[in-house]
Structure 1
Amino acid sequence: MSHASLFDLTGRHALVTGGADGLGAGIARALARAGARVGVIDIAPVPDAVLAKWSAEGQPVFARQADLADRDALHSATHDVLQRFDGRIDILVNNAGHQFRAPGHTHSIEDWDATLALNVTAAFLMSQIIGRTMIERRAGKIINLASIRSFAGSTGALAYGVSKGGVAQLTRSLACDWAPFGVQVNAIAPGFMRTALTDALAGDAAAVERTLERIPARRWGTPDDLAGLAVFLASAASDYVNGAIIPCDGGFLAN
């Protein structure tokens, strides 16, 4: 197998959650450019013009709107995408997530429940539904979006940090369960990324300066910084990589 073909996703079907914008959109576009047909599920609509632009860059991309924190909606949307892909999804990217910023002593239980429902439970349910079909075929790639907060404390965003620790453990546990069936489960752990999720923090000049002092690359990341790593984990190049949680953080965790 040539080096180029190791990363070729031609003929593969991929599903990306939370792919309307931010990191999910960057990953969806990267997979499409690598040759995969891509379905996106997001609570936000993706304009037809945006889908057309992404599709023109690579393979077709379509979107299904759904709130993945709602379990009935999650099951309905997932089965719709499966049907559109003739029952075969080769690559699942569990990216959907959100963050409430509040310290532990004021964090509401409602925000706690909402964070874990989307960031952890939805990722588990998506993995279970799609994973069953992968196990039957004895092949598949699941990529979860963890965080540097899977490894380090999450000051001011308690439930988010706990949820990302859960995503890391979900990744390791499913990897151990499903590796014998030819299914690889891995995670990307982004650092400080310029997305809508971090707008509040990015607007705090003092906080931005503190983070830059900790990042050896001296910049925040962008969705494009995840593209190569996502394609690697989705491709044959990572067939013997399982249970890995790979930082993409400009060196934050190494510093």
Structure 2
Amino acid sequence: DYHLLGGGDSKEVYVGWNHVQQIEIAWNQIVYYEDDEKLFTEEATLLKSLNHERIIKCCHYWFDSESKILNTITELFSSGSLKKYIHNGVGVDLVSIKNWGRQILQGLCFLHSQSPKIIHRDIKCDNVFVASDGKQFGLAVCIMDGDFVKEKEPKCTPEFMAPMCLLEMVTGEYPYMKCSNQMHIFKKVYTGVKPVSLGNVKDYRVRDIIEKCILPMSVRPSAEELLKDPFFLYNGRSSTFETCAPVDNILTSRAMNIKHLYLV
């Protein structure tokens, strides 16, 4: 029992039913090249070993060698991504921003504590999924599109190589969304040009924490350090933010190599 949920050129995601546990699951089918099977096996094995409440759980995987398809079975977060949640008419206030950010940081701290360290490098609201109660979140760490990132060869979403998920939560915009191509974005990221949308953040507390997150890597606080920041330790008073117009399309997660990524 399954039906198509979504997908792209090299991946399809189906909603299925686990008859043993009586729960819905996500069945992911990813096209791969024969030379990638060994690497995919290593990555899928590592992904399956991850066990944390803030990380979407991979329950099982197998290869269809004839069709060159990797199948993975993961948890299904039926309420969709945080991007969809935010643009579904849900008000974004300071308490929500703090709670969402805290849960994402908890997932990142777990990934960074692994040996070897797992670096996500594509944290955006499309890759954060909401549980059915609307309160709990799961971070997607997936093998997708057969596109792996090698050392010193960044292939993730450039505007999210630095932690800017909070900026997206508040403004409703992708950082550098007005850039015409990825090379233009890379140039701005590497030369330290801040996203124009940062000027739309009026709350000084949120702006301050975002400013900390987009500092150069050498002085940027770690996920563990950010969790100890007073901004995330205390919820404080609720105040509503003005967000920009929502982005039209909900993009799919980008590929990542969960063993060999390095933070820039």
TM-score (norm 2): 0.30
- Bigger radius of gyration among the two: 2
TM-score (norm 1): 0.31
* More helix by percentage: 1
Pick 1 or 2: higher relative contact order, CA cutoff 8 A, min separation 6.
Answer: 2
